[in-house]
Structure 1
Amino acid sequence: MEVGTWTGASAMHMARVARGLGLTTEILCVDSFLGDAEHWMLARQRSELRLEFGHPQIYRQFLANVVHAGLEEIITPFPCTSAHAARILTREGVRCDIAYLDAGHEYRDVLTDIQDYWVLVRDGGALIGNGFRPDRPGVRAAAREFGASIGQDPEVDGDKWVLRKE
């Protein structure tokens, strides 16, 4: 499961790796496909929204990328906010082995996503996040705070962090 997929690059990488290993998997990609606050507020990032009549075209690009890569049998889009998706998935009893978080990067958003998606990770699985770097203090603080609440320090590799569910 990927939360915050943008145009699908990470999901497609995971799908290719899974396919190469002969794994049967589905990658559920949760994203509103509307961009985050930074994309709307920063001129250099606003162009990435590819606005048409005021509406971002990120979802179209995501679909085109997935189909062009031939990964539509592995990758399933779930165009929804991370909070709404977590409620729906929890209610439906959906569980995953890995949840990869790369949606909001502000402390409150990250902490909420960690809390919401931790319950969806099966025992033996992992919650992995992106953006553990100095210019994302909210990501670092949220991962550390939640980790402390479950008795773990996040494992960090580059800008990725991991919490393992025993």
Structure 2
Amino acid sequence: MKKLNLSLLFVLFSFTAFGQNTLKLGTNKSPKATLADVAWISGHWRGEAFGGITEEIWSPPLGDSMMGSFKLVSEGKTTFYEICQIVEEQGSLSFRLKHFNSNLTGWEEKNEREEFPLVKVEKDAAYFDGFTIKRISENEIHMYVVISDEGKPEEVEFKYFRFNNK
């Protein structure tokens, strides 16, 4: 019984939670995973956040990565973009992104990017360090990201629905 309790405590402290839906990797090593584990993310998705319409488009796995883009439109104008990738390397996955203003000037320095190593993967969820993607159904995904506003971390939810523009 003591061994089980110690194991549970280790698991709880190993995956420190940022918020209700996001995890932190801490000093742990990313688990083994391949792009096949997250291929369900591919598609054209739309939702609402930050007072506007959000759009994510993800390609199916090809080579060692999946390519994604994000756009926020408020009051009929594009506010900003993100170029994203989920890359397979060293037997695991990492989520990377760069931000751009509406005129494509970058937020990060030329050779910098945001990076979220994999913490845990499940059949319908991928937990990256501070960034989670969950499949709710074939036509709905939710993304959760920890954003620091004035030094205070806050988990933000994005609800997306499969977009069919036919």
- Normalising by structure 1, report the TM-score: 0.24
More helix by share: 1
* Rg comparison, structure with higher value: 2
Q: TM-score, normalised by structure 2?
A: 0.24
